[in-house]
């Protein structure tokens, strides 16, 4: 049995991309997270110490997006996953990173990547 904490729609501004204008002008990225963990202790005790704070998850995603520019959103997702898996209660994570607007005339919708990583 795997329990999950979901945090969706984290918006943060960063300077990620292959195209020069992305690295100069920047853009908002949207991050969705699902973290595998055992929520039974928190459910039974009603204590935050037995869970993973969605505020902490949001802060990790925001920090990665806002601090170091990457060429690829794949690298952004990987760094977010690595940091979340350092949390003691995190067993696995799914990270989705989306660019709502891509500076390419052939792409009208958003572009995203999604990765899944396990501790261990």
The set of catalytic residues is 99
Tell me how far apart the alpha carbons of residues 63 and 82 are, in angstroms, rounded to a whole number.
13
Q: Which of 92, 66, 95, 90 is nearest to 80 (CA)?
A: 95
Residue 76: in which H helix or E strand, if any?
helix 73-84
| Packing angle, helices 73-84 and 54-67, rounded to 10 | 140
Q: Which of 18, 2, 3 is nearest to 99 (CA)?
A: 18
- Which position has the token pair 């999950």? 4
How many residues does the structure list for the chain?
120
């Amino acid at each position: 049995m795997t329990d999950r904490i979901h945090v969706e729609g984290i918006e943060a501004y960063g300077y990620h991309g292959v195209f020069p204008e992305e690295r100069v002008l920047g853009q908002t990225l949207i991050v969705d997270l699902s973290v595998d963990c055992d929520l039974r202790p928190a459910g039974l005790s009603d204590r935050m110490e037995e869970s993973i704070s969605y505020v902490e998850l949001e802060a990790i995603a925001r920090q990665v997006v806002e601090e170091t520019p990457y060429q690829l959103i794949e690298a952004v997702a990987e760094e977010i996953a690595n940091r979340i898996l350092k949390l003691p209660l995190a067993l696995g994570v799914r990270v989705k990173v989306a660019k709502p607007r891509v500076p390419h005339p052939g792409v009208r919708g958003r572009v995203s990547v999604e990765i899944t990583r396990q501790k261990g």
